[in-house]
Structure 1
Amino acid sequence: MHVMGSTGVPRNSRHPDSPPDQAAGGRLQWVVDLVHLARPLHSVKALIFVPLALIDAWPWNVTVAGGIAWAVTAFMLASAAVYVGNDIVDRHRDGRHEIKRHRPIASGRVRVSVGYLYCVGLLASLGAVLVFAPFPSWPVLAYLGLNVAYSLVLKHVPLVDLGAVGLGFVLRVVQGYLAIGGAIAGWLLVTVFAISVLFLIGKRRQELLGAGATHRPALHGYTVELTSWLMQVTAVFALISGLMYLGTGAPLSRDYGQTAMVLSAPFALFIVFRYLQIQLMDRNNGDPVRNLLRDRALLCASALWAITLSIPFMLHHSSVFV
């Protein structure tokens, strides 16, 4: 027997499933928002740059692989905490941006207090990883300090903001080498720095073309023409330093190093040309990670380059162990 309400509809049959469904949907959205806050797509930065140390760690073993995995995990947690912290600090500015206003904290879907707790939880997890790390972890701590300075001051200073972000990538590489106990080639660090700055300039250029300089104070120190020139100069710098690393700094004998440099030249040129073509001719979201992961020409060229470059490395290692 149903109890009838004043409208003649059984009280326990009025939208009986709505509250549970809405609650479940709200919880799911909340979890998705927390995942988005940590920027999981950008974890690829740690997955690419920290393991560069494996180039100098041949032959690989469980100890080497474990050290690299530990370093990657540390930087993934550190970068996630940095992204959450940045979203908290920039929530008012992001709220005025056409795209960034949809971010979880800027839109209000995730409360600021929850963001703080999330950030503290990530830092606590990072602390647990670092306490038991079997190698020096100062690059991770330096990365955190650098990003605090970046969020508060450095990102508002034109040109300095580029160098601060580039240094963050260099610290990832350094941490990888500390994890395996290997010596670091200077040309490799220069190359990583130049490539990361090149990507960031492209992102700044797209921001100028999109929303203009209103949402980021440092953009007042840039123009579209200036970013075009900076990209060209930085692209040349990255190419030269990368080829110099292969020719003189990579763990190859002189002959194989020269071979690697010659084989790499056409692939490296095409990849740089293609990236400049995307940035200078097309209007996109300016995110270098998404551009790299979505562009088939870049992916194919990178894969072919990796296969080609593996040949002199395998020949060198086989000659060493013969």
Structure 2
Amino acid sequence: MTSNFLEAPPLVVDLDGTLLKSDLLLETGMAFIRSQPLKLHKPLGWLTKGKAQFKERLAHATHIDVTVLPYDTAVIELIEAARKEGRKVVLATASHHTLADRIAEHLQLFDQVLATNSECNLSAHRKRDLLIEHYSHGGFDYVGNSHDDLAVWAAARHAYVVNPESGVEKRAKALGNVTRVISSNPSGPKDWLKALRLHQWMKNALIFVPLLAAHQITNPLLLWQGVLAFLLFGLCASSVYVLNDLLDLADDRHHTSKRHRPFASGRLSIKSGLFIFPVLLIGVFVSAWNLLPWAFTGALVAYYILTLAYSLSLKRQMAVDVIVLALLYTMRIIAGAAAFNLDLTFWMLAFSMFMFLSLALVKRYAELYEARRKGHTEKTRGRGYYPNDLEMISSLGAASGYLSVMVLALYIHDTVTVAMYSHPQVIWLACPLLLFWVTRIWMLTHRGQMHDDPVVFAIRDRTSLIVGAMFSLVFWVAA
């Protein structure tokens, strides 16, 4: 083995953006925000002590599960090919050595690890100088991806360029020693559409509920305001989804389906997410303030704050999480009323809270059902429930759904309802329709057939659409 090492220069591999389809500094940063949101002043203090100290403190203050990180299989294949040739393989990274060592131990692919320590941040020229010190100028091949790697490639025998940052490939090829360019992690519009979760915008149709309830759906001015409110609320929600995915990287990577999300899988970079979510948010609030009633902007602010609190903490609190989810659904109706300058009624809010609490519990039941099916008994990762809570959750959820039917029945006898509708007694026909739908949703969930957000499921489900059409017809006839 020693003679082979002497015959072929070692293969030196960068970590962030190369072997790993992510950035460990940003990974640890997001993990710190997620776990200690009230201590954000600490990293700012660490940064004043230099980048090396900053990385060290951050690495020790967080836990990164290296077994589920998004590794690039094309780079791993390159490493394995080098090992078969008997070449020495070195991991050289600007990430802190505690994380690099754990990754090397997990992958079992490296003969040596060179990484940042408390004294030195091993990036760009420092990395180049250390590699020259160890293997001489031109005495190693280097695999990298970024502008910082240009200095190292210039000192290497052969350069391997992996998923290069903008402008890097051209500058690397100008050095004259590029052996191979690996494009193994292309991202495109589909990834962004998935990250922004445009399919979830269907839930924002709840904004039009106050307009329907007030019998103003044919008013063209209000309809225009509704369309604008729908778009702005959707963009705000997309901003929240991106931030939520960045905060939930660790939990998503342990989830059967969520691990394929663009940020968790590494198809989209954390850096791009940190850029897009505030841009969307600023654009939404500026537009809302200038184009719609100020109350709508207030509703958006409340929705965003509540969602942020949910992402950082409340989603892990038993019972609190589903109540907050119900509130987030209801906030869409409140925002709609604000956009149209319409009053919210007691009946609308009561019906919404009970119905959406039932649907939030459907969502939790579906998650726990999958955990129990896999034989898990421990608390669900990132949640406050155990698989054995299934029966209680189904009882609470069905009861909440039926309470919404009772609210609808009481609404029929309200004096305002009697005055608003020509035939209010016809609305009674809506009650059995709603009873059927709530019962069916819970039966499907109990059978493990609920794989979507229940509101999104309802909009896509043929039976739900038929029930919804009949429900609307009842109110049309009653009018």
TM-score range, shorter chain: 0.7 to 0.9
- Structure 2 match to 1:215: 381
Query: Match of 1:54?
Result: 211
What TM-score does the superposition give when structure 2 sets the normalisation length? 0.57
Letter in 2 for 1:170: T
Q: Distance in 2 between matches of 1:120 and 1:249?
A: 46
1:108 paired to 2:274 = no
Tell me the amino acid that sits aligned with residue 201 of structure 1: L
Alignment CA distance shift 1:250-1:76 (3 Å): farther
RMSD after superposition: 2.5
Q: Distance in 2 between matches of 1:39 and 1:307?
A: 31
Q: CA offset at residue 242 of structure 1?
A: 2.6
Equivalent position SS for 1:58? coil
Choose between structure 1 and 2 for higher RCO, CA contacts under 8 A separated by at least 6 residues.
Answer: 1
> Which one of the candidate residues 13, 32, 37 is aligned to 2:190?
32
TM-score (norm 1): 0.83
Given residue 435 of structure 2, which amino acid in structure 1 is its aligned partner? Answer: L
The residue aligned with 1:70 is 228
Q: 2:423·2:477 contact (CA, 8 Å) conserved in 1?
A: no
Shift of 1:251: 5.4
Tell me if 1:89 matches 2:247: yes
Instruction: Give the match for residue 410 of structure 2.
Output: 244
Give yes or no for the alignment of 1:189 onto 2:189.
no
CA contact (8 A) 1:194 1:238 kept: yes
Larger CA Rg, structure 1 vs 2: 2
1:271–1:302 Cα contact (<8 Å) kept: no
Quick check: 2:369–2:390 contact (8 Å CA) kept in 1? yes
Q: Does 1:141 align with 2:297?
A: no
Moved more, 69-78 or 57-66: 57-66
Q: C-alpha displacement at 1:241, in angstroms? A: 1.5
Mapping of residues 1-322 of structure 1, within 5 Å: 26=186, 29-47=187-205, 49-55=206-212, 56=214, 58=216, 60-135=218-293, 136=295, 137-211=297-371, 213-220=379-386, 223-248=389-414, 253=419, 256=422, 258-313=424-479
Q: Is the CA contact 1:195–1:235 (under 8 Å) kept in the aligned structure 2? A: yes
AA partner of residue 477 (structure 2): I
Gaps of 5+ in 2: 1-180, 373-378
Using the TM superposition, give the Cα deviation of residue 257 of structure 1 relative to its aligned residue in structure 2, in angstroms: 6.1
Q: CA contact under 8 A between 2:202 and 2:459: conserved in structure 1?
A: no
Amino acid paired to 1:262: W
Runs of 4 or more above 3 Å deviation: 249-252, 254-258
Question: Which structure features the higher share of strand residues?
Answer: 2
Count of aligned residue pairs for this structure pair? 291
The DSSP-based 3-state class of the residue aligned with 1:218 is: coil
Contact 2:318–2:385 (8 Å) recurs in 1: yes
CA contact (8 A) 1:279 1:286 kept: no
User: Distance between the aligned counterparts of 1:298 and 1:217, measured in 2?
Assistant: 29
1:164-191 per-residue CA deviation (whole Å, 9 max, x = no partner) reads 1111122211121122222111111111
Q: Could you say which structure has the higher helix fraction?
A: 1
Look up the SS of the partner of 2:380 in the other structure: coil
Q: What is the Cα deviation at residue 258 of structure 1?
A: 3.3
Find the counterpart in structure 2 of residue 316 from structure 1: none
| Distance in 2 of aligned mates of 1:32 and 1:287 | 20
- AA aligned to 1:33 is D
In 1, Cα distance between equivalents of 2:454 and 2:262: 22
Contact 2:354 2:403 in 1 (8 A): yes
CA separation of 1:183 and 1:230: change in aligned 2, threshold 3 A: same
Between the aligned residues of both structures, percent identity stands at 24
User: Quick check: 109-118 or 173-182, which moved more?
Assistant: 173-182
| 8 Å Cα contact 2:368/2:386 also seen in 1 | no
Helix, strand or coil at the partner of 2:384: helix
Contact 1:185–1:249 (8 Å) recurs in 2: no
Supply the distance in 2 between the matched residues of 1:252 and 1:176 (Cα, whole angstroms): 24
Q: CA deviation at 1:202?
A: 0.9
SS of aligned partner of 2:264: helix
Cα deviations across residues 230-285 of structure 1 (Å, max 9, x unaligned)? 11211121111233334428755276463243121221121112112211234431
Distance 1:101 1:132 in 2: 39
